[in-house]
Structure 1
């Protein structure tokens, strides 16, 4: 049986950060040999990517008060969904710029950025209660524990 996920009283950003660290942890860099042909990432982390690239290339009118526009939160990293989506965007960008230098960026815009940015900034998205001058704390979805008979239908990770 797996350990239940943290409850809503826990810090959702810290919980997501821990999950992302777990999902992306590879071999120990001290013991793994680095492939000399693998290019260095252009950005060392998602924060550098958002501040150093995304904030400069995405040009949208931002919603503010009665002005219509894209919803955006300056504390994007405090929204678990945004952090996860922007992390995925960064990783896809780093991969496509190297693996497909001819069309990778077009694919990234069309298949990655556009759908994620639409979801993040939608009227019901994670930034919907924020604006460039105000951050509103995220509200997790209400969740009830799954009954044991439902969970028994699926193997736990340690059983796979």
Structure 2
């Protein structure tokens, strides 16, 4: 069960709901107030203070998928997403892309974020062979690193950035 969004997440969810109402032709839907884009996107303050806030306060509220549960098919999601190195890296990248695109492209940035960032990363995280493949909303399974053997020095010496 998720907790209702608060703070910036509530505003983002409310804005999304208002836009959906407008698209559906609801005469009572009030358009969201658009904040003017910052003159310097690099200097804009992030909406979410870190990736954990982004996942808990935004992503968990806007992504609607059926979750895998027992024999039922659905999205493999891990409540301890932060315990999976690949998930941390991908979700951090999603957060930073979201923060950048909301400022740098206020007109189409969110569409680009969903299409080019969220969809591929979410598919990879929750895929049959993704990092959450042995987890479900009620269970976390510790990640297993890929097996690695040291590379022979003569192989590494062939690379353009080899030391020596």
Structure 1 length-normalised TM: 0.74
Runs of at least 5 residues in structure 2 that lack an aligned partner in the other structure: 1-38
Match among 70, 75, 81 for residue 70 of structure 1: 75
Cα distance in 1 for partners of 2:57, 2:105 equals: 22
Q: How much does 1:55 deviate?
A: 0.3
1:107 aligns with 2:112: yes
Match of 1:87 in 2: 92
Question: How much does 1:96 deviate?
Answer: 0.3
How far apart, CA to CA, are the structure 2 residues paired with 1:129 and 1:147?
33
Larger-Rg structure: 2
1:60 shift after superposition: 0.4
Aligned pairs, how many? 123
Deviation at 1:88, TM superposition (A): 0.4
Moved over 2 A (4+): none
Higher relative contact order (CA 8 A, sep 6+): 1
2:127 corresponds, among 111, 122, 126, to: 122
Q: Distance in 2 between matches of 1:115 and 1:53?
A: 18
Q: Who is 1:140 aligned against?
A: 145
Shift, 1:141, TM fit: 0.5
TM-score, structure 2 normalization: 0.72
What 5-or-longer segments of structure 1 have no aligned partner?
1-35
Aligned position for 2:4: none
Which residue of structure 1 lines up, in the alignment, with residue 54 of structure 2?
Answer: 49
